[in-house]
Amino acid sequence: MAADLDVTVGGNTALSENQRAATYKIQKYVDVAAIIAADAGADLASATKITAAENLAVIDIPIYTWVQMAVCQIIEAATGTATIDIGDGDDVEGWEAAVDITAAAGTVTYSNDDADAFSLQIASGKVYGSAADQLDILFNNDTTNGKFLITLVCVDLSCPQYDVN
């Protein structure tokens, strides 16, 4: 599913030499109200909310990356009813379905149950070996606020010393 809005700018997707061939994390702080204000209705369906079924690309996933786990930590709870699905271009809820972003600050949800396509228990994560992708969040409800941190636990599988990519 193509993202309605790409907010990947500001994520730490560039890899340092120390991160190559090591486990590292990619993180994106998502502030719903700030995204709405910055967009002002340009790409989102509304200038006052992210509407149900809108999909935001939040993290660029480089080619030759093994993503082992996706984690969502609530920083500030959204109000009302608000859940998100965390996935990518192959599966909109591949990492986690129906994450409650109205949960208390500090609540952590991670992709480790048998219901999620890329779960650590099922398929040991996902290798993005043929193309780069983006981590997407799909809003299941109209949402006006809330803050959360998305973290991917990754391993770089590229081989720059052999110039194969």
Split into its structural domains, the chain has a count of 1
Give domain status of residue 63, yes or no: yes
Give domain status of residue 164, yes or no: no
State the residue range of the domain holding 49. Answer: 5-12+20-158
Give domain status of residue 55, yes or no: yes
> What CATH number should be reported for the domain holding residue 62?
2.60.120
**Cα dist. 139→28, 96, 143 in Å?**
16, 12, 8
* Residues 85, 80: Cα–Cα separation, whole Å: 17
Give domain status of residue 165, yes or no: no
Is residue 148 within 8 Å of residue 50, measured between CB atoms? no
Q: Which two tokens stand for residue 73?
A: 């930590």
- Note the pTM of the prediction, 2 decimals: 0.82
Give domain status of residue 163, yes or no: no
pLDDT tens for the chain, residues 1 to 165: 667 777 776 655 555 555 555 789 999 999 999 999 999 989 999 999 999 999 999 999 999 999 988 999 999 999 999 999 999 999 999 999 999 999 999 999 887 655 556 655 445 789 998 899 999 999 999 999 999 999 999 998 887 655 554
Give domain status of residue 100, yes or no: yes
